[in-house]
A = this chain, B = another copy of it.
Amino acid sequence: MRIGFIGLGIMGRPMAKNLIKAGHELVVDDHQEETTAELVAAGAERGGRPDEIARQVDLVITMLPNSPHVREVALGADGIVNGAHRGLVYVDMSSIAPLVSREVAGALADEGIAMLDAPVSGGEPKAVEGTLSIMVGGDRAVFDQVRDVLAAMGSSVVHVGDSGAGNTAKLANQVIVALNIAAVAEAFVLAEKAGVRPASVLEAIRGGLAGGTVLEAKAPMMLAHDFTPGFRIDLHVKDLLNALDTSHDVGVPLPLTAAVLEMMTALKAAGHGQDDHSGLLRHYETLASTRIGGSPS
């Protein structure tokens, strides 16, 4: 398929490469010259503005930082909407507010463009491997049409509901991940200060009900005090803000998510926004004046 790809960042670049590997013709944006050149060397064509790219492809995919960027690329003066043609499909794989997904999808539908929201989970390593989890909202028939394209980037591609549902599922994912990280941090600081090595606790509990992917992926980072991202606190703050906007909009109190958002906001204020989200441990260490597995900081 002939695909336009806009947003060649940490995630978008390897995703675009996997589409080329799967045999698709890619037209990429030229926002960051170095990355564009890399993709062109890998077989992609250089595109121009979003409307110009849209005009010459069957499918546009975007991977952008947040809601305003998607709104601009889709509906702005040079936006995809101005490259509308019969049969054009737009898949936004950014993690943005579900309300914005629905708003943009509605505006594009008026111009005959079908849109899916298809955010991903898994981070850069899984983007490189092509094993992302992709959660998709929008029309089922459109989903069936692009499913194979998405499968080149992810090992799990699940249609979760109507427009916005993909981003709602992503927010649910981010709520669980944030609270699971907080859970490990809270437990480890308790153990440390009660005189038990968190490394021993990890060994003793990982096989039981407390076991899980966050424990396996993030506990070792906490034990080593190595908060190289991974997934940055800044980005998790963005997701939790979107989660709370959504929850307040539909009338759902999220007391623990709100508490963790404030903890992450404190870490941002202290200059730790670029750390991996497992750096939430620092907040607990500060609260308890202790340091996991080492001398007091």
Q: Quick one: given A168-B194, A183-B175, A191-B172, are A160 and B201 in contact (CB under 8 Å)?
A: yes
Q: How large is the interface on A (under 10, 10 to 19, 20 to 34, 35 or more residues)?
A: 35 or more
A4-12, A73-81, A208-216 - interface stretch: A208-216
Q: How far is the CA of A173 from the CA of B183 in the complex (A)?
A: 9
Which residue in B135, B209, B257 is a CB contact (below 8 Å) of A217? B209
A residues 118-142 touching B (CB-CB < 8 Å): 121-123, 133, 135, 137
Contact B168 A204 (CB under 8 A): no
A38-46, A47-55, A287-295 - interface stretch: A287-295
Chain B, Cβ-Cβ closest to A244: B190
Contact B213 A208 (CB under 8 A): yes
Q: A250 — which chain B residues lie within 8 A by C-beta?
A: 190, 193-195
- A200 on interface, CB distance cutoff 8 Å: yes
Chain B, Cβ-Cβ closest to A211: B213
6 A-B pairs (CB sep. < 8 Å): A135-B201, A168-B201, A169-B201, A183-B183, A212-B212, A256-B260
